[in-house]
A and B are shown apart, each in its own frame.
Chain A
C-alpha cells in the first residue's frame, strides 16, 4: 500500500497541510488539473490531514459566539450551486480515484466564489437558491419561488425521500402555489420520471414531472394548491401518468 509515485512531485504533502506559498499553491493546482494520479494522492492525504484535526481535543466555544453567528445569518447571503458543474451521479463511497475525480472537477474555491456571485442571490431574505439555473426556465422557476417565499403565509417542510435524499416543500396557501426543492435524490434510468401530486381525500391530481438533472433541483408544482393539500412524489413512466402507478417515495403534508 506504500505507493509513492515520483510523477506527482514533492508538493502534495505540503499542499494538504496548507504549507505552500500562494504561488506554489497555484502551481501545484495546475499539476492537479492535469494528473489523475496527483488528484488521487491529494484526496487521500487531505483526508489524512483531517484525521490529525480530529485528534485535537474539542474545546467548547464561548456560549455568546453561537448567538453572534446566528444573528449574522440574516445578512449573510448564500451562494447557489455553480451552474454548469457536472452533476454528481456517484454514490458517496467509491475508490480514491473516483472521489478524487469528483473533488477536483471543480476549480479552486476562490474562482468558484467569484463566478458564483453572478448566479447567486436571486432570493432576498437570506434564503438559499437551490435551483439548477438553466436559462429562462430556471429564472421563471426562481421568480415563482421568490414570490412564494415572500408571501405572508409562506411555510416549509422537509422530509426524507425513501429512495435517498430529501425533499423540501415550500408553499403559500394564499397564492395557491407550492414548489419542491430536492437534494441528493437519485438520477432515474431512461424511461422514468419523477411526478408530483396534489393529494386530498378525493385522490391524486397530477402536478408536474421532473428529472433529477443535478444533485439539487427546484420545481414549481403545476395547478392550484388547496389549503390542507398533501404533496406526493412518485416514480412514473416518462411523460408522467394521470394517476399514480407506484407507491410514493415522499409525502409532505401542508396541514
Chain B
C-alpha cells in the first residue's frame, strides 16, 4: 500500500552535478537551463579546444563554439542515448561545425585571391608539419604510429586541419581516389588499434 512516502527517492533539481552527461542532455531537451549550464561547464573546454585546433583564430573559435552550444540546446531532443554517448554526439557536431567554418573562410579567401588580394595560406609543407605535432593523448599517438605515413598524414590533415579529401590529395601529391582509400584504411586501422570496434 502506498501512503505518503516523504523520503524523496532521488531529488536531482538542486544537484544536476550528480547526473551523467547523457542525463544532462536529456534534461536540456526539456528546457532545463541549469542542466545546460552544467553540461556547458563540463564540456566547453573540449569543444573549444577542438574548434580552436581547427580554426586557430580565437574570435572565430568563440563564434563557432557559441553556434555549437546553441545547436546542442536546439536539438537536444534528437539526442538518443541508445545511439552513443553525449560526448560522441557533441564532438561529432563540433567537428562538423568547425569544418563548415574552415570551408566557408576558405571560400571567401579564394574569392579574395580571385579579386587580387594576397593569399595568406601557409605553404602545404608547413601545414603538414604543423598538424603532425598536435596530438596530446599517448594512446592516440601510439595508435597513429601504426598507420603508414601516407595514411597518417591524410587522416591528420582531414581531421585536425579540416581539409577536404581533394585538398589532402593536392597537398600530398597523390590521386584523389588514393586519398579516399588511405583515409578509410587509416581510420579502420585506428579503430582496431584503439579498440573502438565492438
Same complex for A and B? Answer yes
Residues of B within 8 A of A76 (CB): 70, 73-74
**Residue of B4, B75, B94, B136 most packed against chain A (CB within 10 A):** B4
Between-chain CB contacts (< 8 Å), 18 pairs: A17-B155, A18-B95, A18-B162, A19-B165, A45-B191, A56-B49, A56-B50, A58-B48, A61-B65, A65-B62, A66-B44, A88-B83, A90-B82, A91-B82, A92-B81, A159-B12, A166-B23, A216-B29
Contact indicator A52/B74 (Cβ below 8 Å):
no
Q: Which of A29-37, A134-142, A199-207 contacts B (4 or more CB under 8 A)?
A: A199-207
Residues of A within 8 A of B30 (CB): 127-128, 130, 158, 168, 181, 183
Across the two chains, which residue of chain B brings its CB closest to A64?
Answer: B62
Chain B window 20-44, contacts with chain A (Cβ cutoff 8 Å), 1 for yes, 0 for no: 0011001101111100110011001
Is A57's CB within 8 Å of the partner chain B?
yes
Contact indicator B87/A2 (Cβ below 8 Å):
no
Give the dominant DSSP class at B's interface. helix
Is A208's CB within 8 Å of the partner chain B?
no
Contact indicator A18/B198 (Cβ below 8 Å):
no
Residues of A within 8 A of B13 (CB): 156-158
Bound-complex Cα distance A219 to B44 (A):
34
Residues of B within 8 A of A13 (CB): 155, 180, 182-188
Contact indicator A62/B45 (Cβ below 8 Å):
no
Number of B interface residues in the complex (CB < 8 A): 94
Contact indicator B183/A160 (Cβ below 8 Å):
no
Contact indicator B160/A52 (Cβ below 8 Å):
yes
A73 contact from B10, B36, B87, B190, Cβ within 8 A: B36
Residues of A within 8 A of B49 (CB): 56-59
Contact indicator A199/B4 (Cβ below 8 Å):
yes
Residues of A within 8 A of B62 (CB): 61-62, 65
Residues of A within 8 A of B140 (CB): 51-52, 54-55
B31 contact from A53, A68, A78, A113, Cβ within 8 A: A78
Is A238's CB within 8 Å of the partner chain B?
no
Known A19-B183, A54-B91; contact A158-B5, beta-carbon cutoff 8 A? no
Contact indicator A80/B180 (Cβ below 8 Å):
no
| Chain B proximity of A75: nearest CB distance (Å) | 10
